[in-house]
Amino acid sequence: MRAVIFDLDGTLIDSLPDIAAAVAHVFSRRGLAALPPDQIKVMIGDGARVLLNRAFGAVGQVVEEADHAAFETYYTAHAADLTLAYPGIEAALQDLQASGHVLGVCTNKPEAPALAVLDALGLTKYFGVVTGGNSTPYRKPDPRHLAATLQALGTDDAIMIGDHHNDIAVAEGLGLPAIFAAWGYGKADWPLVAGAAFEIPGLVASLTH
């Protein structure tokens, strides 16, 4: 039975409100006005460091190392204040697990806040491994990031599910199938699309048999 690996932000959880709040916190330390969440939304997907680089660049500023530290400290403490699992996600995870699939998370979010939000939402129990953006030397779209997740699960056969072209790229890099989550933050030109979470088990089944 193939493993099923999920991206986190924009796939399992709607974390935009808390991410935007964390960026606003860092900006306030520098005397900068907060960016609107819709502007932050398109910056998500390549990890916290890239996110802050983009956010500060958008206002003509250069991010400092202290900004990265402040972001991670604040966000880890507030990662689940406003964040929710997408409708139908937990039911889909239960269905996949009951069908015998081993599940994992491969995210560019740093490991500590990734685990914090999954714990807060009661989702950690579904996943055999959670690989964060600082868990290995690699991050998506580098396929070695996904390979590390699979190695930790003890398999090399999996389906990747995510809302970002990086998620498609890591799967393609390992010659594995992928499902694009259309409800998230990113865009990808990909034929196999889940329009809502309840569609995931059926699509996974179609790739398994």
Q: Return the active site residues.
A: 7
* Cβ-proximal residues to 118 (8 Å cutoff; 6+ apart), any chain: 8, 12, 105, 124, 127, 130
DSSP 9: B
Computed from CA positions of residues 68, 121, 140, 143, in that sequence, does the dihedral angle turn out positive or negative?
A: positive
- The structure tokens listed for 17 are 């409100």
Cis peptide before 141 (omega within 30 of 0): yes
Q: For residue 206, what are the CA distances in angstroms to 43, 158, 177, 200?
A: 32, 13, 11, 10
Residue with tokens 């590390």: 148
Integer CA distances (angstroms), 44 to 36, 41, 71, 184, in order: 13, 6, 14, 10
